[in-house]
Amino acid sequence: MQIDLDIRKTLRSGRRCFDLQVRFSSNSRRIVIYGPSGSGKTLTLQAIAGLIRPDAGHIRLDGTVLFDSQSGTNLAPQARNMAYLFQDYALFPHLSVRQNIGFGLARGWLNPREDVSHEAVDYWLDAFHLRPLAHQFPGQLSGGQRQRTALARALIAQPRALLLDEPFSALDPALRQHMRGELDGLQRRLGVPMVLITHDEDDVEAFGEHVLHLREGQLASGRDAMEMTDNVIQTLRQAT
C-alpha cells in the first residue's frame, strides 16, 4: 500500500482549540499510529475513511486521490472502499450476526434478509467460527465474538485497507493477547494493508512495521522526526 497523507484540521469547542497537523507517506502494509488519547489519532483515521473533512491538504492511496483540498476532491466514505473497525465495534443492534456481516453487500433500501444465505457471508461465518451464532444479536455476544463479527463485516467487501481504532481496548487483557494473534495471522493471510491507531505499546510491538508517534495533533517520529534530527545536526554544525 502506498499512502501519502498531509492534512490539517482545526477543531474549536468553546475557548479550547485543537490543531491537527499530520503528514506522512509510507509503503508499509502495517502502519501503527501511536499516541495518548486526545492526540488526534481517531481524527486522522476518520479523515482517511472520509468521515471527517480536513481543512486542507491531501490524502492519496495507491494512486487514488481520496481527498485534495486544492482540486476540491473529497470522495464520499461510500466510494472509498475502506474497512473501519470501530473501537466498540458499532455492530447494528437490531440485526443478527449474519445480517451484520452481510450488511455492506446489500446496497438498496432494505437490510439483508435473515434467512437468505450468501456465499461470502457463509465463508466469513466459517472463517471466524461464528456459524453457531449466526442468528444471535450483538447484545448476546462476548467481546471476542463481537470483534470477529465486526471484522467479518468490514472485510467482506474486499477493502483497499483496514482501518482499526483501538481494536483491543474493549477486551479484557487475557483475550486481548489472543485476538492480537488472530488479527496478526489474518492480516498476513489476506495481505490487506492496515492502519492501526492505539495507545497500547503491546499493539505497537505486535503490528508496528511503520510506527508514527502522535502527540497533541503533531507527528513526532518517522520521517518528520528524522528531518527534525537532521535540522538539529545542521544547526549544531553551523554553530560550531
Q: Which parts of this chain interact with another protein (CB under 8 A)?
A: 49-51, 76-84, 86, 88, 90-94, 103-104, 107-111, 137-140, 146, 153-154, 157
| Minimum separation from the CB atom of position 223 to another protein (A) | 28
State which residue, 72 or 108, has the beta carbon closest to another protein. Answer: 108
Whole-number minimum distance, CB 212 to another protein, in Å? 22
Pick 102 or 217: Cβ nearer another protein: 102
CA proximity to 62, closest of 27, 22, 11, 18: 27
Give me the least distance between CB of 106 and another protein, in Å please: 8
Residue 33 host element (H or E): strand 30-34
Which grid coordinates are listed for 21?
497537523
Spatial CA neighbour of 31 closest among 229, 222, 228: 222
Closest of 153, 155, 150 to residue 167, by C-alpha = 150
**11 or 211, CB closer to another protein?**
11
Nearer to another protein, 195 or 219 (CB): 195
All three cell numbers of 194: 492496515
- Report the nearest approach of another protein to the CB of residue 185 (Å): 24
Instruction: Please identify, using beta-carbon distances, which residue of 18 and 103 lies nearer to another protein.
Output: 103
Q: Which of 160, 153, 51 is nearest to 105 (CA)?
A: 153
Spatial separation of the C-alpha atoms in residues 179 and 184, rounded to whole Å: 8
Minimum distance from CB of 101 to another protein (Å)? 11
Residue 85: name the closest of 172, 159, 154 by CA: 154
